[in-house]
Amino acid sequence: MKKFFKIIGGLVAVVVLAVAGFVVFVQARGIPSYDVPKAPVSPAPVATAAQVALGEKIVLATCADCHRNPETNTLAGQKLRDLTPDFGAVYSANITQDKQHGIGAWTDAELTTLLRTGIGRDGRYRVIMPSFALMSDEDMQGVLAFLRSDNALTRATPTPSHEQEPSFLLKALTNTVMKPTPMPTAAVATPAPTDALAYGRYLVVGRYKCYECHSKDFKSNNPLEPEKSEGYLGGGNKLLNLQGQEVVSRNLTADAETGLGDWTEAQFAQAIKFGMSPHGPLNYPMPKYSQLADEEVKALYAYLKSVPKLQNATPEDKGAVAAR
Ligand code: HEC
Ligand code: HEC
Domain coordinates in residue numbering, the chain: 49-78+92-166, 196-315
Contact 249, 314 (CB under 8 A): yes
Contact 136, 88 (CB under 8 A): no
Q: Which atom of ligand 1 has the smallest separation from the CA of 65?
A: 5
Q: What is the pLDDT of residue 323?
A: 37
Q: Which CATH architecture has domain 49-78+92-166?
A: Orthogonal Bundle (1.10)
**Residue 90 Cα to ligand 1 middle (Å):** 11
Q: Please give the torsion angle defined by the CA atoms of residues 263, 267, 269 and 272, in that order, rounded to the nearest 10 degrees.
A: -80
Protein residue closest via CA to atom 16 of ligand 1 = 126
- Ligand 1 pocket test: pick from 56, 92, 157, 218 the residue with the most ligand atoms within 8 Å of its Cβ: 92
* pLDDT per residue as tens digits for the range 65-109: 999 999 999 999 999 988 888 999 999 999 999 999 999 999 999
Protein residue closest via CA to atom 8 of ligand 2 = 286
**Residue 92 Cα to ligand 1 middle (Å):** 6
Contacts of 122 (CB under 8 A, 6+ apart): 33, 36
Fold of 196-315: Cytochrome Bc1 Complex; Chain D, domain 2 (1.10.760)
Contact 243, 82 (CB under 8 A): no
Q: What is the pLDDT of residue 319?
A: 55
pLDDT in tens, the chain (324 residues): 677 777 777 777 777 778 888 787 888 888 889 999 887 766 556 789 999 999 999 999 999 999 999 999 999 999 998 888 899 999 999 999 999 999 999 999 999 999 999 999 999 999 999 999 999 999 999 999 999 999 999 999 999 999 999 999 999 999 988 899 999 999 999 999 999 999 999 999 999 999 999 999 998 999 999 999 999 999 999 999 888 899 999 999 999 999 999 999 999 999 999 999 998 999 999 999 999 999 999 999 999 999 999 999 988 887 554 333
Contact 113, 127 (CB under 8 A): no
- Ligand with an atom nearest the CA of residue 259: 2
Q: Do the domains at 49-78+92-166 and 196-315 have one common CATH topology?
A: yes
